[in-house]
Each structure stands twice: as structure tokens, then as C-alpha cells.
Structure 1
Amino acid sequence: MFESLKGKKLLFLGGVQRACAIVKRARELGVYVAVADYNEDSPAKKFADEAVLISATDIDALTEYCLKNNIDGVTTAYADILLPICLEVGKRIGKPFYADELMIQLATDKVAFKQYCEKYDVPVPKTYNITADDYKETAKNITYPVFIKPTDASGSRGADICYDYDDFCKKMEYALTFSKKREVTVEDYLSGTEFILDYILIDGEIYMLSMADRYTSKGRPIAINNPNLMVLPSMNLEQYYKVVDPKVKNMFRELGFKNGVIFLQGYAKDDKITFYEMGCRLGGTWPYIDEVFSGFNPIDLLVSHAVTGKMLPERADLSTITPFFNGIASIIYFISSQKSGKIAKLTGFEEVKRMPEVAATIQYYREGDSFELGRMTDVLFLAIHLTAPNYNALNLAMEQIYKKLDYLDENGKSLMTSVIHLDEATQHGVRVCKIKESQT
């Protein structure tokens, strides 16, 4: 299907660890991949055909490089700040980028996102209009608890729950340090089961890829980058698909979104769905899980669009794209319990990678690596993507992984936060999804 991509040249912006899988995948499709950022040792550059030492935000230099080297397209992933860079560089070299100005605005401006959602009857929480200059006075009239997040930040940086006036003022000051605009979104605090869902857009047609429930172990803050466990399909998928999905698709159509990926995050409680954020990049997407159940990998489609202008270079049967998987999947996140340290040993990883249920692994830290929290909200060691035909098979695979795999310090002590077992995530009679009886 992607034979026409062979020999095309792609410039990928930002060589972060998570981008390694995209670079590898693009090269498997026969695409020549150059990775650009200011770091000589960016992880993804090690897997690229060419490492380009240009800042991923230097539009002039990137444009000059593309024109000199006959680059067919520019793309990125995981970094909101690089989306408008891709769009502008693409315009200057006459190549398309899947996201337009409005899509990027909704993905990076939480106020704009909520305004458009309200216009199209897509459920969002009540938002309070508070500025950095007058928040102390205005905050006296807020109904607590509320959730605050820098309007122009990503990755949960500066986000937190505020339970009263004093708590709000303290956390507001911290949140503002993550906002270049000095703006913070304040909204009613949502509770329930947190979820992330993904759409793929192909020539104006909108397909829902997946919906995953997000679980965090006890003792960890809610406003964090990574949960301990994601399980999909979501236990709220049927309710969402019936009630909210038509409204979301209508909004995307009316706004003129044609191609790319879009993820939405929110909470579900008592059959009520409420969104708090949108993204238009790889991030919420689980491409290798999607590939197992739908036959399509979103990475392939985004690479194709970058170098050809089309998500699919030729016609294909898209009826297999559905969030109602013929099975079940999970993503386990192995997260540090320490703010800093050194990894002396990683046990069981090679054995785990060979398990048939393992669709993909993304390793951020290896034996001998040191780590430090810095301004991140947590330190992620490893992510493992699993698929299985039914609940019991997935549960068994997860338990085997928990027994085999561990990150240890120099004293042989585990560095990881406590894990979440599948039965814990779906306790009190709440099922992951109403999977067919033949599969349970």
C-alpha cells in the first residue's frame, strides 16, 4: 500500500526518545529520514539516515535545509510547540502539513478549545476567566475544587487540583511559571474515570480509532504525564459512541478538518462524558495496538501525508477501523518512585519483549542510566503495549510481566512505583468494555 513512499525524503523535527519508533517505521517504509534539533545526541538521530544540527524551532534554517536537500515533507510528534513550525516550513517549501492553523489552535489553546466545544454542544467543564493580574481577588468567588493548567503548556506541566483559596494561590503561582503567555485555565474539577480517545482523519472522513481508560496508582498525583496503566477499549465506549461521538465528528467536519490525528482527553462518570483537552499529534495514539486490531498504523498514514500529501497513497478498505476491538489491550507504564537516581539493573526485559502479547515496547532508560525529575511531572522508564483476545489472557500476560520485569538501584531495591493489576483497575463490577460473551 505504501510502495510509493520509497525514496521520498522526510524531515522530522525533534529527536526525542519516543520519536525513535517513528523514525524506524518511516525507514521501513523506504523513506529517507533526517532528524533535526539542537542536540547532537538526540535519541532518534541514532536511527535516522541523517542527523541535522538545526534547532527544531529555527524556521529560516529549516526551510533553507529543506530547499537545498529536496525534502518532500516535514512532520513531528509528541511536541505541541513544533506543530506550527511544521506548518510554516511546509508552506515555505510548498509541501502540505496535515494540521491547519485552527486545528493547531484548538490543540494548544485550551480556552479556544472549550469555546468551540460549547458552540457544537460537545461537553466541557465550566471555565473561570482569571488572569495573572487579578487572580487573588477573583479566586475568592470560585467554587472549589478546581483544576488549573497553564493555557499554553503541554504534558501536564504546572497542572494541579486546588481545594481552597490558599491552595489555589500557591499553585497558581507555580502554574504561571510554565506559561509563556502568563495565562492559566481554571475549570471545575472533574472526577470519575479518565480516558483518552483517538480519531484518524482521511480526506475529510473521520474514523474513531480507540478509547482507553487511564489508571493511576494510589499516592501519585492526578496531574501527571503518565498513568500506571491504560486499558482499552474503554468501559465507557458504548455510551460515548452513542451519545457524544456524533457531536465530535460534526464539530470536526464543520471546522473543516480533513487529515491527521486528533486525540481528546476527559472524564466519564455516571454516563456523563466531559472533555478537558484536545491534541492533534501522536501522543494519545497507540499505533501498534491500532495496527493489531484495525490493520492500520497511524504512523504510516502521517508519514505518507508528510511526503505525498495523502494519508493513504491508494484506495483501501477502511471498514476495519473501529474502536470496538475484537479483543482487549493495555499499556503498562513503568514509572520511577524516586526523583533522581541511577539504574543498576533491569531484569526480565528481553524475556518480556518476546512474549506474543507484546505489540511494542518504548524504552526510555536503560541499565547504567541516571535520571532526574527536573521540571517533568514524572520519570517514565518504560512503556509496554499489550494485546490479547480476551480479558483473562491479558490479565495473565500482565501478571507475568509484573513478576519478571523490574528496574533496580545499586542496592537491589526496586525503583518503580507500585503497579496496578487489571482486576484492581476494573473492580466493583466495572468492566473494561462490554466485550462479546465469546471473548470473556
Structure 2
Amino acid sequence: MEREFEGKKLLILGGNPETTPLVDIANNMGIKTIVTSGRSTDAAKKVAWKAYDVDGMDVDGLIALAKEEQVDGVLVGVADILVPSYCKVCEALDLPCYATQRIVDVFAFKDEFKATCEKYGVHGIPEFKLDAEMKREDLDKIKYPVMIKPVDNGGGVGMTVAYNEEELRAGVKKALDASHKKRFIVERYMNCDDVGIYYSFKDGECSASCIYDRYTTDEQPGLSRVNLGSVYPSKHIDDYFKNTHNNALRMFKEIGIQNGMLLMSGFYENGEFYMYDPGFRFQGEAPHLLMKAIHGFDQREMMIRFSLTGSQGSFNIKDIDDIRFRGKSAATFWLLLKEGTIKRIKGLYNITNDRRIIANVQRLYEGDKVEQSWIGTEKQVLTRLYMVCENKQELKDCINEYERKISVISNDGRELTLSGLNTDLI
């Protein structure tokens, strides 16, 4: 790996496990990484050159830290709620930033995202009018089941499925507690195909990098449906380009996106797409790992370079991208755990010789405890296995093999893994 940025200092906002690979990449480029978050125990801090406990929402504190360390660049990790802070810190220090306040206003808050999408013919999930006053006339118009979610949090945090008014009221409280802006939305509960659409931007050029199908667990009723796995490319790829892609491009252009990466999560029903969650930052799903294995470029390196120079490099993103993955089949296979303390993990190690597994991004280990409050969020993810295969059948065989061999035993002898991805649905 090139080390042209040897000795440069990069401040990375957020320290969750999903941010750790980004820190590793910067370290390997010879960069002095500085990770800051509100928790001293965060995983990404363990691999950083320096670590601080300045909370990512403390903009003044972040600016002071950046000045003290004389950083050469700032980058946000895998955390939606930190993108607004990232934008403000870069602006204050006159450092390269792939976001603008206009972009932040659209993508950092689910209600703003939905309103903007509708202006351009990109549909959001049908919504019910309701605010914290819980007016009777509004409650009477709600048709159950519904999903309640905070406007400014992700990964399932603060989200609840409600089947009646009592559950709705509890869900509103949970969403408000998880919202920094103290705003929530109530949407129709969608029971249909789930998709992710991932775009890459470079110097104003937009490339649709991948579209994938998400398969979620139904073992945790009443909670957000956490992903069990994602399969690339999506079986709905042609419908997306026919019905939604061009409208999305108009939206991106008019709100001024020049650089960065964007995931739009959505549902597919009867030929129509309904977008529900944007992420203008690196993703926990990490499609960039599959893109690197198949296309040969590392989006993390590109964005680290941008943070230090204002440029991702001298190439055309459309020349090296391929939304159909060059004919290959790929997947991320998520392993979810129930509440409990992990005593033993079997079948997850010694997989480096399997050519089908291109990455293993583990976030929980033996001795870690899965809290009850984590259930229904991405915090209950043990690991994500990244698979690239020559065809769909080989991919199914790979998923089934690891579904059989991986086991997680609790201190009290229970199996902690949830049922995995049913390959008959792929």
C-alpha cells in the first residue's frame, strides 16, 4: 500500500467496531489516526495512534481537539448521527468535507429525507400524521401495524413495530428517547422485499455501485427487523433503473452531491420502490468490501485521500464500477445473537483459507455480553461474513455451510445464535 501520507494526522469521528477497518486502512497508509468518541472502550480506539473521549456530538470540543492535534484531515466513521458534526468541524477548520449543510439537512434526518425524495418522484413509505401531543383525531386515523422510528438514529435504535395504540404510545416514547432532535415518524409497517441501493460520487459524477436484497429476521416480534444477510446483485435491479434511478439522479444533482457514498434503504412492492433510510457515510453493511474484491478499488482509501487532499484520485468512477458485479454473486452473511454472555464461539475461526470469504468483520467476542437493550439493533450482530462466488448456487452452498458450522454458546449453556438466512428465498 502506498504511504504518500506518512505522518499526516487524520481525526476520525466515532469508535464503533464497524469503524475499526477504516482506522486500520489509514494506519497502513502511514497516517497517524486519532479516534474520538464518548466511550473510552470503543473498539476503533484500540487500533488508533491516539484516542480521545470527546463525544462526536460536541462540535466545539471536536474543533478544539483538532486544533490541539493540528490534524490534516477529518473523516466520519460508520455513524449517521455524526455526519452533521463532521460537516461543522470541517467547515470551521477549512478542511475537505464531502458533505455540505444542505446535504446534511436532507440525509441526516429521516423526515427531511422523505420530504425531499417526494419532490423528485422518489417515494417514501406511507406515513401517518402524529406528533408528541398524540392528538386523538390523529390516533384514530392510524391503521396498524406501524413502525415508529426516531428521525435521526439508525441501526434499529429506537425503532418499534406497534399493533395497537398501547404499543404505539410505548414506541413513541422509545423513539423520542433515542432522538437527539426529539422528533419521530410513524409509517406503515412494510412486509415485502427489502433492498439497499448504494451510490458512489466522485467530482460530481454519480455511479450506481450496487443494489442488493436484504433478508431480515422475524424471530424478534415488535422490534426492528435486523438484517440476516444481503445478496448482490438484487433481483429487482432492472425495475429500479426503470422506475426510480433517474429521479434519484436528479435529486442528487440538485442538492449538490459531489463526493462521498450514499446508501438508500428501501422496500419493493408491486413494482414500486419506497425509500426509508439514507446513510451518507460508510455503512455497517460495508458494500465497499465486496466492491474492492470484485472491482479492485478501495473506497476507504479514496475517502481517506479526499479528507487529506480534497480529491479521491485521478480516475473516472464509472470506468471501474459495475453494478452487476461482473457476473459474480456475492453476499454479506450476518450472524445475530440473543441476549446472554458469550462463553464459546465455534466455527468462525480458521476461515482465511476459504477463497469464498473475502472478509470477516467481527464485533463481538468470547466474554462479551449481549444486552437486552441491544436486541432489535445492529449491536446484536456477532459478525458479518463477506462472500464472493462464481454463481448463485455456489453462494447458497457457502451460506448454508457457515450457517451449520458456526455456534455460539452462553455461560449458561444456551445456543445464542438466531436462525440464519434461508437460502430458499434467494
Q: For this structure pair, what is the TM-score category when the shorter chain's length is used for normalisation? A: over 0.9
* Counterpart in the other structure of 2:288: 287
Query: Cα 1:127–1:48, aligned 2, differ >3 Å: closer, same or farther?
Result: same
- CA contact 2:148–2:172 (8 Å) conserved in 1: yes
Query: Cα 1:203–1:278, aligned 2, differ >3 Å: closer, same or farther?
Result: same
For 2:252 and 2:317, locate their aligned partners in 1 and report how far apart those are by CA, in whole Å: 22
Task: Report deviation, 1:301.
Answer: 2.0
Unaligned runs of 5+ in 1: 427-440
* Counterpart in the other structure of 2:334: 333
For the pair 1:306 / 2:307, whether they are aligned, the reply is: yes
Task: Report deviation, 1:167.
Answer: 3.9
CA shift digits 1:335-388 (9 cap, x unpaired): 112x2x221111122223431111111111112222313255241111111111
* Counterpart in the other structure of 1:434: none
For 2:304 and 2:227, locate their aligned partners in 1 and report how far apart those are by CA, in whole Å: 28
User: Relative to structure 2, which stretch is displaced further, 112-121 or 171-180?
Assistant: 171-180
* Counterpart in the other structure of 2:422: 421
- Structure 1 counterpart of 2:422, which letter? H
* Counterpart in the other structure of 1:50: 50
Task: Report deviation, 1:317.
Answer: 6.2
For 2:18 and 2:105, locate their aligned partners in 1 and report how far apart those are by CA, in whole Å: 24
Which secondary structure does the structure 2 equivalent of 1:354 belong to? Answer: coil
- CA contact 1:140–1:165 (8 Å) conserved in 2: no
Percent identical pairs in the alignment equals 25
- Compute the RMSD of aligned alpha carbons: 2.2
* Counterpart in the other structure of 1:429: none
Q: Counterparts of 1:237-316 in structure 2 under 5 Å?
A: 237-283=237-283, 284-310=285-311, 312-316=312-316
Task: Report deviation, 1:142.
Answer: 2.6
Q: Normalised by the size of structure 2, how large is the TM-score?
A: 0.92
For 1:153 and 1:323, locate their aligned partners in 2 and report how far apart those are by CA, in whole Å: 28
* Counterpart in the other structure of 2:194: 194
For 1:19 and 1:376, locate their aligned partners in 2 and report how far apart those are by CA, in whole Å: 21
CA shift digits 1:198-246 (9 cap, x unpaired): 1111111101111121112342347537311211111111111222111
Query: Cα 1:399–1:155, aligned 2, differ >3 Å: closer, same or farther?
Result: closer
Which secondary structure does the structure 1 equivalent of 2:62 belong to? Answer: helix
For 2:188 and 2:317, locate their aligned partners in 1 and report how far apart those are by CA, in whole Å: 42
Task: Report deviation, 1:65.
Answer: 2.7
- CA contact 2:34–2:50 (8 Å) conserved in 1: yes
* Counterpart in the other structure of 1:436: none
- CA contact 1:147–1:162 (8 Å) conserved in 2: yes
Task: Report deviation, 1:2.
Answer: 5.9
* Counterpart in the other structure of 1:72: 72
Query: Cα 1:270–1:120, aligned 2, differ >3 Å: closer, same or farther?
Result: same
Query: Cα 1:181–1:59, aligned 2, differ >3 Å: closer, same or farther?
Result: closer
Q: Normalised by the size of structure 1, how large is the TM-score?
A: 0.89
For 1:196 and 1:329, locate their aligned partners in 2 and report how far apart those are by CA, in whole Å: 14
CA shift digits 1:19-66 (9 cap, x unpaired): 111100112223221111233332112211222343333323322332
**How many correspondences in the alignment?**
422
- CA contact 2:357–2:387 (8 Å) conserved in 1: yes
- Structure 2 counterpart of 1:259, which letter? N
* Counterpart in the other structure of 2:205: 205
Which secondary structure does the structure 1 equivalent of 2:227 belong to? Answer: coil
CA shift digits 1:270-314 (9 cap, x unpaired): 22211112110112442211112222222122212111111x222
* Counterpart in the other structure of 1:384: 385
